[in-house]
Chains A and B, each alone.
Chain A
Amino acid sequence: MTKTFAQLGFPGRLIAVEGLDGSGKSTQIYLLKRWLEQEGLKVFFSEWNSSELVKSATSKAKKRELLSPTTFSLIHATDFADRYERQLVPLLRAGYVVLCDRYIFTAFARDTVRGCPSNWVRGIYDFAALPDLTFFFRADLEISLNRILDGRPQLKYFEAGMDLRLSTDPYESFRIFQGRILEQYLAMSGEFNFLIIDANQPIEVQQNVVRDLIVNRIELNDFRRDRTLKVS
Chain B
Amino acid sequence: MVKKAVKKSKPFAFSRIVVPRPNERRFYGHGIPGVDASKLRGKLIVVEGCDGSGRSTQIQMLVEWLESGGHATTQVGLKRSALVSEELNLAQNGNTLSHTTLSLFYATDFADQLENVIFPGLKAGRMVLADRYIYTLMARDLVRGNDLDWLQNIYGMALIPDAVFYLDVSAEERVQRNFAKDFALDYWESGMDLGLSREMFDSFLKYQAMVEKEFKRLHKTYGFSIVDGNRSAQAIFQELRSKTQAVLAGR
A residues contacting B by CB (< 8 A) are 53-54, 56-57, 61, 66-71, 74-75, 77-78, 81-82, 84-86, 114-117, 119-120, 123-124, 126-127
Chain A residues closer than 8 Å to B83, beta-carbon distance: 57, 61, 66-67, 71, 75
Contact A54 B87 (CB under 8 A): yes
Nearest residue (CB) in B for A55 is: B87
Q: A118 CA to B157 CA in the complex, in Å?
A: 13
Contact A53 B87 (CB under 8 A): yes
Q: A57 CA to B150 CA in the complex, in Å?
A: 24
Contact B34 A115 (CB under 8 A): yes
Contact A75 B108 (CB under 8 A): yes
Q: A67 CA to B153 CA in the complex, in Å?
A: 20
Chain A residues closer than 8 Å to B107, beta-carbon distance: 74, 78
Category for how many chain B residues contact A:
20 to 34
Chain B residues closer than 8 Å to A85, beta-carbon distance: 98-101
Chain A residues closer than 8 Å to B157, beta-carbon distance: 70, 120
Nearest residue (CB) in A for B32 is: A70
Could you mark each residue 28-48 of chain B with 1 if its beta carbon is under 8 Å from any beta carbon of chain A, else 0?
011011100000000000000
Interface residues in B138-167 (C-beta closer than 8 Å to A): 147, 149-150, 153-154, 156-157
Additional A-B contacts beyond A54-B105, A56-B87, A74-B111 (15; CB < 8 A): A53-B87, A54-B87, A70-B111, A81-B103, A82-B98, A85-B100, A86-B101, A114-B33, A115-B33, A115-B34, A117-B33, A119-B30, A124-B154, A126-B150, A127-B100
Chain A residues closer than 8 Å to B104, beta-carbon distance: 74, 77-78, 81, 124
Contact A120 B29 (CB under 8 A): yes
Closest chain-A Cβ to B97's Cβ sits at a distance in Å of: 6
Q: A67 CA to B90 CA in the complex, in Å?
A: 20
Closest chain-A Cβ to B101's Cβ sits at a distance in Å of: 4
Nearest residue (CB) in B for A66 is: B83
Given the known inter-chain contacts A53-B90, A70-B157, please indicate yes or no for A120 contacting B30, CB distance below 8 A: yes
Nearest residue (CB) in B for A124 is: B154
Given the known inter-chain contacts A53-B96, A124-B104, A124-B154, please indicate yes or no for A66 contacting B82, CB distance below 8 A: yes
Nearest residue (CB) in A for B88 is: A57
Q: A114 CA to B34 CA in the complex, in Å?
A: 10
Chain B residues closer than 8 Å to A71, beta-carbon distance: 83, 108, 111-112, 115
Nearest residue (CB) in B for A89 is: B98
Given the known inter-chain contacts A74-B111, A124-B154, A127-B150, please indicate yes or no for A57 contacting B33, CB distance below 8 A: no
Q: A119 CA to B154 CA in the complex, in Å?
A: 10
Closest chain-B Cβ to A91's Cβ sits at a distance in Å of: 14
Check B227 for interface membership: any CB of A closer than 8 A.
no
Which of A67, A69, A70, A124 has the most chain B CB atoms inside 10 A of its CB?
A70
Chain B residues closer than 8 Å to A57, beta-carbon distance: 83-84, 86-87, 108
Q: A71 CA to B115 CA in the complex, in Å?
A: 9
Contact A68 B115 (CB under 8 A): yes
Check B194 for interface membership: any CB of A closer than 8 A.
no
Interface residues in B95-124 (C-beta closer than 8 Å to A): 96-101, 103-105, 107-108, 111-112, 115
Chain B residues closer than 8 Å to A114, beta-carbon distance: 33
Contact B101 A120 (CB under 8 A): no
Q: A189 CA to B228 CA in the complex, in Å?
A: 55
Contact B30 A78 (CB under 8 A): no
Check B91 for interface membership: any CB of A closer than 8 A.
yes
Nearest residue (CB) in A for B100 is: A81
